[in-house]
Structure 1
Amino acid sequence: MQPSAGQDLPHTRTRGVHWISTAAALGAVVAAVALVQPADASQDKPAATATTPAAPVAPPDPAAVTYPLACGDGVKTDVISKVSGDLDGDGRPETAVVVRCHTDTGTPPSGVYVLSAPAKAGGPPRIAVTLVKPEDNRQISHFRLEGRTLMATVLGFSSDAVPQCCPDLSRGYSWEWRDGRYVALPGPAGTSV
């Protein structure tokens, strides 16, 4: 005998047990999917990127550079001061140095140079720019790096009669990378030492 329209068949009636067993089965499937992860999956692991960050690059070594100083035969150059940092914002460090000819007495003029990575792999660092030329007969003190700004006190002479040991003029300078070059920002001029 066939049930008439509107009547339920005994095997099509849902009961509480049916709903509980269905919910339990679905819960087991969801839990199994949540527990099964790829072998390299981890919640603490950051998402993979297309590029791997490069190892840190060492700043240029000032001892590996030949400086354009006229020191004379057999006279070496001395690196008086150095600072390193990413001065031009390209992600690679530069080294800024104060260099002068070696002497046991007296105070020869100094040059200030910014060194950058070698032009070719395995080569020596190169002088990217000269900030203070030794032929300008200046001495440098208080050389430092603040952020990406180089700072120094530049000492000079009011006349040729002033002894080389005792500069009588002082001026603060800073150098910043702007628009693809280093820009000198002088402090007040003509300050006596």
Structure 2
Amino acid sequence: MAAVIAGAGLLQPHATATAADPAAASAPAAGPGAADTPRAKAPDAADVTYPLDCKGLPVAVTATAQGDLDGDGRPETVAAVRCDAGSGTPPHTLYVLAQDKTPGARPRIVATLLEAGRRQTATDLTVRDGIVTARLLGYSSPQVPRYSPDVKQLAKWRWTGGKFRQELTNSDAGSV
């Protein structure tokens, strides 16, 4: 199963942020007070093939968070994904997933918030009020042991002007 997922990931193009469907943007939001409006189901992160090159290792979804990020009234899922190396601290990639309206369609990647190339681990992933928040752990230099990240940042992403914009807040180094 892992080999199929990894192989299929190589066949998909790399996804970047895309604008929401303009027709969907006028749909009424299914919020807590919308009892008569059926709630859309958030995309299932397990139903996606991720474009990570894990060199034959399986892909692991380590955390998910759901919420309406683009204001179209339909929830998206943010998935923290990494190669399942079995040891060490593989970096995460954060993907935003959307569910197509077509019945039976699989969720698709619509944005990449954090690239694995940044060599950061994402923890405390949440979606609240249309804002994605994650604590990013990283390393100040190659000499820092990979089991002991010494750089901590709070990252927030918000859908603005047709794309995700990131805000970073530095935290105390060495206090992970």
TM-score between the two structures when normalised by the length of structure 1: 0.67
The aligned residue for residue 54 of structure 2 is: 71
The aligned residue for residue 43 of structure 2 is: 60
Two-structure CA RMSD over aligned residues (Å): 1.9
Kindly provide the CA deviation profile for residues 28-73 of structure 1, in whole angstroms up to 9, marking residues without a partner as x: xxxxxxxxxxxxxxxxxxxxxxxxx763221111001111211122
The aligned residue for residue 113 of structure 2 is: 131
Instruction: Give the CA deviation at 1:158.
Output: 0.9
The aligned residue for residue 84 of structure 2 is: 102
Q: How many Å separate the matches in 2 of 1:126 and 1:96? A: 11
Kindly provide the CA deviation profile for residues 133-175 of structure 1, in whole angstroms up to 9, marking residues without a partner as x: 0121111112112221111111111111222221111111111
Q: How many Å separate the matches in 2 of 1:191 and 1:184? A: 20
**Identical columns (%):** 35
Q: Which has the higher contact order (CA 8 A, sep 6+)?
A: 2
Change (3 A) 1:71 1:119: farther
* Structure 1 unpaired stretches of 5+: 1-52
Instruction: Give the CA deviation at 1:111.
Output: 0.6
Structure 2 residue identity aligned to 1:126: R
Q: How many Å separate the matches in 2 of 1:136 and 1:119? A: 33
Number of residue pairs matched by the alignment: 140
Kindly provide the CA deviation profile for residues 6-35 of structure 1, in whole angstroms up to 9, marking residues without a partner as x: xxxxxxxxxxxxxxxxxxxxxxxxxxxxxx
The aligned residue for residue 139 of structure 2 is: 157
Instruction: Give the CA deviation at 1:118.
Output: 3.1
Instruction: Give the CA deviation at 1:188.
Output: 2.9
Structure 2 residue identity aligned to 1:129: A
The aligned residue for residue 165 of structure 2 is: 183
Residue 154 of structure 2, aligned match among 156, 166, 172: 172
Q: How many Å separate the matches in 1 of 2:144 and 2:102? A: 44
Q: How many Å separate the matches in 1 of 2:125 and 2:42? A: 17
* Structure 2 unpaired stretches of 5+: 1-35
Contact between 2:152 and 2:170, CA under 8 Å: does it hold in 1? no
The aligned residue for residue 125 of structure 2 is: 143
TM-score between the two structures when normalised by the length of structure 2: 0.73
